[in-house]
Amino acid sequence: MTQTNTLDQVDFAQNNLEKHSVNVHKFGGSSLATPECIERVIAIIRQHCQLDDIIVVSANGKTTDLLLSLHQLALSGEPLDSSLTLLQEQQSALIFALLNDGNAGRLARELAQDVKQLVAWLAQDPLAFESDILALGEVWSARLLSALLNERICGSYYLDARDFLVINNARECRVDNALSKAHLASRRQGQKLAVITGFICKDETGHSCTLGRNGSDYSATIFASLLSAKNVTLWTDVDGIYSADPRVVPSARKLHRLPNAVAQELGRLGNPVLHKKTLQPLTDNIGGSSHLHVASSFDVKAAATEIGEFGQIARQELSVTHLNDLLLVSCEALKASASAELIARLSPVYSDKKQGQLVILASEQQALTSALAVLGTEVTFTPVSLIAAVGYQVALRLDIYGRFKRALKNDRVLRFVNSEHEHSIIALLPQETTAELLNKVHHEIVKDARHLGLVVAGLGNIGQRFLELLPGQLSRVPALENVHLVGLVSSSKALIHTDGLDVGSALTDFNEQATDYTNQELLGWLKHHPYDEMILVDITPSEAFSFLYDKFFDLGIHVIGANKWAASADTQTYRTLKAKAAKSGSLWLGNTTVGAGLPVNYALDDLLNSGDDIMEISGVFSGTLSWLFEHYNAEKPFSGLLKEALAQGITEPDPREDLSGRDVQRKLLILARAAGFELALEDINCQNLVPKSLQKLSTEAFLQQADELDGYFEQQYQQAKEKNACIRYIARFSLEQGKVKAGVSLEVLADDDAFASLTPCDNIFQIKSLWYQDNPLIIRGPGAGRDVTAGGLHSDLVKACQQLVNKQHQVTLKGIN
């Protein structure tokens, strides 16, 4: 895990910023529309950019539309004055709202010069200067942002892409890579942020050209390819790519990672965010491995969608897309081989040479009609629409094919076709694809596709057993179908694979491949994980690790803890954690913190849910102490038994946690809190069975001197025996006349007491409540041990997943909604 420096972490006066690679950030028009939007962009750059990165900009807000309308007005000979004034006013307003007086004056003078030139072009020959006219929007936007960066953040320069980006085929916007790369290299300035115009370029004769619809996105990926950039981020008004258009399908889920091939297919089949040209420079760049991110400049915290090459898990993502306003073209001439070049040029949505048929966008009808007129044959156009299931080689997945057909069984379908590389199954419909149909098909295809990541912290006695049971659970329990083990963490080493670890060999892989990590690195990875939900199972005994819960909940991570520290933390910390978890929708389960696999926490929850009031909880809460006192008969030394319990994995890693009563004290606190009481550890009297002389030693030294315990326990045992009684470590909590009484201690019990004759290691919980007053509720069984604890954690995992697989996230589309 590596950490990159961002601009807000460095002091520019003595900047020594380490570069990892170039990143390209593109900001669209809506992200740069107003002074407030531009302030947001500045904040993003400060946080996410490094020196030498490239920033690509579109024209501010609707500037290009205004320039286009001026162009139209000029062509039709209509007056320009009011539109010109509006254009200049809008630009001036941005300049004066954002820049200091000196820079604002300079940019206003340059703007006035440009407007003069614009008026001349419009008067002279608007058609010939169309691209020069449209290019002004990006030039103004880049000049403004660069000046602002110079004022606010760091050295910056702006580049007009027409100074280096050369295309040698205007119709297909094909870039002359060698020439453009050389020109760009000669214009870059080191240790500064470049702001470059998107959308515009020049042709081989030096004339201005534009890159067409979504041209700035295309510019960004072209620059990334020229510079072998590591990442390209399209900062836009939506926070990623969804499994269907979320404006139409409310249950659409964000796709966190998309393989290039799938993203390209989505762009081709009408995804509103991706354009089919955008990815081309990255995928054409053989050996290049740039990843494309789609992120929202309006909601920087929202996880983005990352597009690139990924392993198996990302390849399982499915989505549904649709296109209305299509035409099915039938023409005999299309069967001839002479039509091949025409078809390739048009790159239709679908073509069937045998049948002489194409499917094109309705907007392409005119171009096709004139192209086919040359062939002199009759053409028929039939309005159609398409709906498609898109995913990596989805056409080869028979289950998905079946579901897709099933969802459409009551609709008229002209035909089902697979795309060339099997990344989509397309249904051509003779009618419009309605919102209702889209929702129906989406539900059928995407219903169980939420991916849950799993990180296990603590790979000791219990953690290892948990992992041994995991493969069986994953293949047996339907709710775990989309759970992927992605991380294993011990106190100093971590093995994290975003694409998933092999559950069968996870521990061996951890022992061979895990590397040192810091908590910062772990949190950094968790912050950007690409899963719908992330579950962390804490099987450490560590208080330090429990301090991270606060951050986990901030990040919306779900926690299943066997670790008792957080659940028994001081009242303020506990309250804050509960509130944070509730706020971020994080689940926090800890059934095994008390009674290992026994469902005592669940039972208390159920009682409260049933309207009951709990008045008393008592019993034997320690598996270790139960095992010790049920076995102890003063024949074998007590210390010998203690070491046996440690070897059996019943005790805490340091058995003094058990013997001191602290473990029982924590458990009583956890249960009292679960029963709805607010109390702290200090409110629970605790009898420590470890003599002072052994309390401060290391675990090893304590075990060596453990025979110092023997005399005390022998005496306690014999004294009890004389009264036909026994010794047991008991926890008691009660509410008496509105006052809480709580304590844990060694008690002398009659041999026939309900807490006296347990199977060694058993816990017993006696709960008195309104419903269970005269005849208390009893839960009894093994309260410690590898199997029951690991099993209890699996029970929590299934419970969490049952809730999370169906959880709906509110889609927020800032800038669109």
Ligand X SMILES: NC(=O)C1=CN([C@@H]2O[C@H](COP(=O)(O)OP(=O)(O)OC[C@H]3O[C@@H](n4cnc5c(N)ncnc54)[C@H](OP(=O)(O)O)[C@@H]3O)[C@@H](O)[C@H]2O)C=CC1
Q: Which residues would be at the binding site for ligand LTNE7NMQ (CB under 6 A)? A: 596, 622-624, 650-652, 658, 663, 783-784
Q: Tell me the residue number closest to ligand X, measured at CB.
A: 460
For residue 755, the minimal CB distance to ligand LTNE7NMQ (Å) is 15
Over the window 579 to 608, marking each residue x when it contacts ligand X by CB under 6 A and - when it does not, the resulting string is: -------------x---x------------
Among residues 70, 462, 496, 536, which is the contact residue for ligand X, using CB under 6 A?
A: 462
CA distance 766 to 352: 75
Bridge partners of 740, per DSSP, are 735
Check binding of 540 to ligand X (CB under 6 A): yes
Q: Which partner from the list ligand X, ligand LTNE7NMQ, none does 649 bind, CB cut-off 5 to 8 Å by kind? A: ligand X
CA-based nearest residue to 707, from 646, 643, 659:
643
Partner from ligand LTNE7NMQ, ligand X, none contacting 492, C-beta within 5 to 8 A by type: ligand X
Q: Is 563 in the site for ligand X (CB under 6 A)?
A: yes
| 544 binding partner (options ligand X, ligand LTNE7NMQ, none; Cβ < 5 to 8 Å by kind) | ligand X
How far apart CA 311 and CA 500 sit, in angstroms, is 8
Q: How far is CA 542 from the centre of its chain?
A: 27
Is residue 142 within 8 A of residue 160, CB to CB? The reply is: yes
Determine which one of 276, 667, 692, 721 is catalytic. Answer: 667
667 is catalytic: yes
The minimum distance between CB 414 and ligand X, in angstroms, equals 58
Q: Amino acid identity of 296? A: S
Look at residue 558 and give its three-state secondary structure. strand
What is the phi/psi pair of residue 766, to 5°?
Answer: -110, 120
Alpha-carbon separation of residue 42 from 25, 554, 698 (angstroms): 12, 25, 53
CB 814 within 8 A of CB 296: yes
For ligand LTNE7NMQ, the closer CB: 402 or 653:
653
Closer residue to ligand X, CB minimum distance, 81 or 512: 512
Binding-site partner at residue 622 among ligand LTNE7NMQ, ligand X, none, CB < 5 to 8 Å by type: ligand LTNE7NMQ
8 Å CB contact between 384 and 428: yes
Of 140, 392, 517, 545, the residue at the interface with ligand X (CB under 6 A) is 545
* Nearest approach, Cβ of residue 672 and ligand LTNE7NMQ (Å): 16
Helix-then-strand count for the chain, H and E? 28, 33
In angstroms, what is the minimal distance from the CB of 460 to ligand X?
A: 2
Piece of the chain touching ligand X by CB under 6 A; list 130-138, 235-243, 451-459, 526-534: 451-459
**Which DSSP symbol is given to 134?**
H
Reduced 3-state DSSP string for 481-545: CCEEEEEEECCCEEEECCCCCCHHHHHHHHHHHCEECCHHHHHHHHHCCCCCEEEEEECCCCHHH
Q: Which is nearer to ligand LTNE7NMQ, 237 or 762 (CB)?
A: 762
**Residue 541 binds which entry of ligand X, ligand LTNE7NMQ, none, CB below 5-8 Å type-dependent:** ligand X
Count of positions on this chain that bind ligand X (CB under 6 A) = 30
Q: How far is the C-alpha of 545 from the C-alpha of 459, rounded, in Å?
A: 13
Given ligand LTNE7NMQ, ligand X, none, residue 539, with its beta carbon under 5 to 8 Å by kind, binds ligand X
Nearer to ligand X, 225 or 624 (CB): 624
460 binds, among ligand LTNE7NMQ, ligand X, none (CB under 5 to 8 A by kind): ligand X
Measured from the CB atom, the residue of 368 and 793 that comes closer to ligand LTNE7NMQ is: 793
Residue 462 Cβ, how far from ligand LTNE7NMQ at the closest point, in Å?
Answer: 9
Picked from ligand LTNE7NMQ, ligand X, none, the partner binding residue 458 (CB below 5 to 8 A depending on kind) is ligand X
Contact status: 259 vs ligand X (CB under 6 A): no
How many other CB atoms are there within 10 angstroms of residue 117's CB atom? 14
* H or E stretch covering 588: strand 588-589
DSSP single-letter state for residue 634: S
Longest dimension (CA), the chain: 117
Number of other CB atoms surrounding residue 332 within 10 Å: 12
| 500 versus 783: smaller Cβ distance to ligand LTNE7NMQ | 783
Instruction: Provide the mask over 776-795, with x wherever binding to ligand X is found by CB under 6 A and - wherever it is not.
Output: --------xx---x------
The token duo for 657 is 């946690």
Shorter beta-carbon distance to ligand LTNE7NMQ: residue 246 or 783: 783
Cα 502 to Cα 313: distance, rounded to the nearest angstrom: 12
Phi and psi at residue 542, to the nearest 5°: -95, 130
Least distance (Å) from ligand X to the CB of residue 644?
A: 14
* Residue listed under structure tokens 């058995």: 655
470 contact choice in ligand X, ligand LTNE7NMQ, none (CB below 5 to 8 Å, kind-dependent): none
Q: What angle do CA 456, 460, 466 make, to 5 degrees?
A: 50
Residue 646 C-beta: closest distance to ligand LTNE7NMQ, Å: 10
Name the minimum Å distance from CB 102 to ligand X.
Answer: 54
As a whole number of angstroms, the distance between CA 549 and CA 580 comes to: 10
Residue of 564, 673, 728, 768 interacting with ligand X (CB under 6 A): 564
Which of 364, 652 has the CB closer to ligand LTNE7NMQ? 652
- Contacts of residue 472, defined as CB under 8 A and 6 or more positions apart, other chains included, come to none
Name the pairing type of β-strands 483-489 and 452-457: parallel
Q: How far apart are CA 642 and CA 524, in angstroms?
A: 41
Q: How near is the Cβ of 250 to ligand LTNE7NMQ at its closest, in Å?
A: 44
**Residue 428 or 567: which CB sits closer to ligand LTNE7NMQ?**
567
Minimum distance, C-beta of residue 624 to ligand LTNE7NMQ, in the bound complex (Å): 3
Q: How far is CA 616 from the centre of its chain?
A: 43
Among residues 118 and 650, whose Cβ is nearest to ligand X? 650
C-beta closer to ligand X: residue 129 or 525: 525
Sign of CA dihedral 667, 668, 674, 680: negative
The option from ligand LTNE7NMQ, ligand X, none interacting with 563 (CB < 5 to 8 A, set by class) reads ligand X
Within positions 198 to 217, which residues make up the interface with ligand X, using CB under 6 A? none
Q: What is the DSSP string of 282-347?
A: HHHSTT---EEEEEESS-TTS--EEEE---TTGGG-EEEEEEEEEEEEEEGGGGSGGGHHHHHHH-
Question: For the window 628-667, what string marks contact with ligand X as x by the rule CB under 6 A?
Answer: ---------------------xx-xx--------------
CB of 415 to ligand X, least distance (A): 56
**Mask for 483-502, x = binds ligand X (CB under 6 A):** ------xxxx----------
Q: 3-state class of 412 per DSSP?
A: coil
Catalytic residue numbers, as ranges = 667
Q: Which residues bind ligand X (CB under 6 A)?
A: 457-463, 489-492, 539-542, 544-545, 562-564, 592, 596, 623, 649-650, 652-653, 784-785, 789
